[in-house]
Structures are given as C-alpha cells and as structure tokens.
C-alpha cells in the first residue's frame, strides 16, 4: 500500500480545548515521515490557531480564511489543496488514544488494498431511509472517489448531512465501505465508543450556534427529499401489500407517553421507557413462551429485565442482535430467517434493536413475525428517526400518525435529560 496520505482538519476556534490536544495526539501517535501533509483549514478563528499551526513545520500546512465557512466548504478547500491518494477527514475535537505508533493510519488505509473500497472509518450508522453512512469526524476516502463523484455538497450549510449525502453517492457508484477495526462501534451519551483508538465527544463547535436545531432540520429535510426511500431501493426482497394486510393486525403504533411510562430503575438510555411499556403489554395476557431479543444484552439493565420476565413466570429464550459475544446469550443475526424458531413463541420482543441494524427494517420485522404463533404478538421499540416510519406505513398500511405533529413538543416530555433517547416509538403487531 502507498503511504500517500493527507489529513484534513477543519477548525473554527476552540484552539485550547480542541485543536491543540488533537494535534498533540497526532504528533504523539503518528510517524510524521509517512504523512504527506496535515492540512489545518482554519476558518473564522479568532484565537491562537494561526500562530500555533504556523510554528509546527512539516508536515503541517495552514489554510487560513478570515470568515467562518462551515464544514463542507472548509473540507472541500482542504481536499482541493491535498496531493495524496488518500484523504483522512478528522474533526478538531478528536484525540488519538494510546496505540502502537501510526496504527490509526494503518487501520484506516490498509483496506484500500481492495480497489473496490472507497471509504473506511470507525463509525458507520444508519441514517435517513435506513441507509448506512460514515460519520465524518474520522473517515478515510480514496481520492479517486472525489474525482468521480465530486466534493462534499456545500448546500448542507454549517454542517450535518453532507456525510450521508456523500456516502450515498459513493455507494451508488459501487464503492465499498469498510468499518474499522470491527462492526461494534457506536455512539452513546454523545460520545464515540468502539475499538478504534480515538476519543470524540462530538458537537463542541456546532452546539454554539443558537439555531443549530433549525440547521439540523433544514439539512435533514434535504436528505429526506433526496433519499427518503433509500432502503426500499436497496432491498433484495419485494413485498405484496395485500399479503401483509391479511397476515397481521397492528395493535399499537405510537410514540411513548414518557410521563406515564418512565421508571428510572431501568437506568440506561431509553430503557426506563421501553421496559415498562413491554411489561404492561405482555403481563397478564396469557403469553407463556417469550423470545426476548435486544441490542445490548450485556447491559446490567437488560439482565434485570430478563430476571423480571423469569420471576413473572415466562418461559424466556434470550438472544442478542448486536453481535457481541455475550455469555449465556444466543448471538442471533435477526436479518436471517430462522426456520427452527418458526411459530414457536407467544410473544417476540425486539427492544431497541432496529435502529442498530443497517438493513431494510421490513425484512427484519418479517423474519421476527415468522417466529410468532398465530394469535401471538411481536412487540418492537425503537428510536425515531433512525427507523423509517414512512416505509413501515407504506408496507403495512397501518394508518401511521403524522410524524411531524407527534414530534411537536415531544422533547418537553422528557422528565430527566439523563435518561433516554429523545424520540421512542412502540409498535405491536398481532399475527
């Protein structure tokens, strides 16, 4: 593999608490002789950024702009000045962690030995329409991808959405994405957690904008308009709506009433809403055999939930869909049909899982419904907007609520910001 690598760091102030620690970690954990250039794109900075970067010498280069440019414009200017085969985009609020020297570069660049790979990174998630994309706080992109599809779309002002848009365009041209070092990385409590040696708290700059929520909505609407049905396009299975409507009945499809449901004994994330919701639905309704499948079976909270199911008297089969090696759990790929489980359960529980699976969610639901006995139920909870409600409405003809109206003021229902995701949906299907 060529060591022809350029690193591009856009920065808007935050010299002392972001850029300087970032660059110091790069110098500590990188063989700078194997880097062509590290381009710092300073835009609108009024702190000590200029003097610091200019004092560093090779391979650091400063691109200076007096006015704020936003993420996409800043990065594009860096790409235009870069001269390497591979470009690494790195946020200024990242810090490299302890590692064998230059490991982070080697991990990002080595997958490009496969000429079909266009992009690598440590955090790949599901966005609008169920399409998977890299979060561009740290991502490596082959220069040939820019040559073919162009730079980041600068209509995504300030930041947010340009990474999803770019990934979709690259995927449509047939480029492969490789997540490194594995598939287990995720965002929790506003921080990146995974096997790649980097720390990223996220959002240090953008949250200073008073209209940040408006910017997010505006950029998100561009994505919805362009790619709202991405996972329908990419699905390998087609469906007959008439066949679906005759197979099941939608018993519930609604946002949780947080004030009624919140029980903080469940502690982590959205669990303090989801577990009480599920227990209320299955307790005392004649269900005996339960398949309890979730993402995060290693969590103490989920183990508490399992104990509660057993204490109530359910015959419980537990599985984890997050591909962790969890003791005493079946690691179950919910994307695959399981004939050995067909029609075995009175109730199948899919708690906080759909949003973590980068596939067509209708396929997932179809596979889970196959495990439910006639007259039984499939109970699903998930975070919105990570799951495409409009897609579910289209296939199930279930009379889904107007999403925008339901979300209006929903955040004000959060009793304690330390708990839960902002938008949680419950879906109950009777077979």
Q: Are 327 and 97 in contact (CB under 8 A)?
A: no
Structural domain spans, the chain: 5-227, 237-430
**pLDDT one-digit tens code per residue, 96-130:** 988 999 999 999 999 999 999 999 998 877 655 55
- Strands 330-331 and 315-320, bridge-based pairing: parallel
In angstroms, what CA-CA distances link 147 with 23, 85, 176, 371?
A: 28, 11, 16, 48
* 237-430: CATH topology: Rossmann fold (3.40.50)
**pLDDT one-digit tens code per residue, 68-79:** 998 999 999 999
Closest residue by Cα to residue 169 from 118, 97, 98? 118
What's the sign of the alpha-carbon dihedral 61, 194, 357, 279? negative
**pLDDT one-digit tens code per residue, 172-209:** 788 889 988 865 555 444 444 557 888 887 656 665 66
Cβ neighbourhood burial of 55 (10 Å; 0-12, 13-18, 19+): exposed
| Helical spans, DSSP H, in 295-388 | 300-312, 361-369
**Among 3.90.550.10, 3.40.710.10, 3.30.460.10, 3.65.10.10, what is the CATH number of 5-227?**
3.90.550.10
Closest residue by Cα to residue 369 from 284, 274, 255, 249? 249
Greater confidence, 259 or 274? 274
What's the sign of the alpha-carbon dihedral 25, 28, 31, 35? positive
**What is the rounded CA–CA span in Å between residue 410 and residue 197?**
36
Q: CA angle at residue 118 from 226 to 147, to 5 degrees?
A: 75
Give the model's pLDDT for residue 204.
Answer: 60
Give the model's pLDDT for residue 424.
Answer: 64
Q: Which residues contact 8 (CB under 8 A, 6 or more apart)?
A: 38, 39, 41, 75, 78, 79, 82, 87, 88, 89, 90
């Amino acid at each position: 593999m060529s060591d022809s690598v350029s690193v591009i760091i856009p920065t808007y102030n935050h010299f002392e608490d972001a850029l300087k620690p970032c660059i110091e970690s790069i110098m500590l954990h990188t063989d700078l002789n194997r880097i062509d250039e590290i381009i710092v794109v300073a835009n609108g900075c009024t702190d000590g950024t200029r003097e610091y970067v200019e004092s560093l010498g090779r391979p650091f280069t400063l691109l200076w702009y007096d006015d704020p440019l936003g993420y996409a414009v800043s990065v594009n200017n860096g790409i235009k000045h870069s001269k390497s085969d591979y470009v690494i985009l790195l946020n200024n609020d990242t810090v490299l962690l302890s590692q064998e020297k230059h490991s982070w570069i080697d991990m990002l660049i080595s997958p490009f030995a496969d000429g079909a790979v266009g992009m690598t990174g440590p955090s790949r998630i599901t966005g609008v329409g169920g399409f998977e994309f890299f979060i561009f706080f740290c991502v490596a992109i082959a220069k040939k991808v820019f040559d073919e599809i162009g730079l980041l779309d600068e209509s995504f002002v300030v930041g947010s959405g340009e990474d999803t848009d770019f990934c979709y365009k690259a995927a449509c041209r047939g480029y492969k994405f490789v997540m490194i070092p594995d598939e287990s990385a995720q965002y929790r409590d506003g921080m990146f957690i995974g096997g790649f040696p980097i720390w990223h708290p996220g959002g240090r700059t953008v949250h200073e904008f008073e209209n940040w929520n408006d910017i997010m909505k505006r950029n998100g609407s561009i994505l919805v308009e362009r790619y709202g049905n991405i996972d329908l396009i990419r699905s390998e299975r087609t469906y007959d709506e008439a066949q679906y409507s005759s197979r099941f009945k939608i018993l519930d499809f609604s946002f949780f009433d947080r004030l009624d449901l919140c029980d903080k004994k469940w502690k982590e994330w959205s669990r303090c809403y989801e577990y009480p919701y599920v227990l209320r639905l299955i307790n005392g309704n004649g269900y005996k055999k339960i398949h309890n499948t979730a993402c995060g079976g290693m969590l103490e909270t989920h183990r508490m939930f399992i104990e509660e199911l057993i204490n109530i008297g359910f015959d419980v089969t537990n599985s984890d869909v997050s591909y962790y090696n969890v003791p005493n759990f079946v690691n179950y790929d919910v994307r695959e049909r399981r004939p050995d489980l067909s029609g075995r359960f009175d109730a199948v529980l899919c708690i906080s899982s759909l949003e973590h699976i980068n596939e067509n969610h209708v396929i997932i639901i179809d596979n889970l419904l196959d495990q439910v006995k006639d007259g039984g139920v499939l109970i699903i909870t998930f975070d919105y907007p990570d799951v495409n409600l409009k897609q579910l409405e289209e296939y199930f003809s279930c009379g889904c609520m107007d999403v925008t109206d339901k979300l209006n003021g929903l955040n004000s229902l959060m009793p304690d910001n330390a708990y839960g995701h902002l938008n949680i949906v419950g879906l109950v299907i009777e077979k």
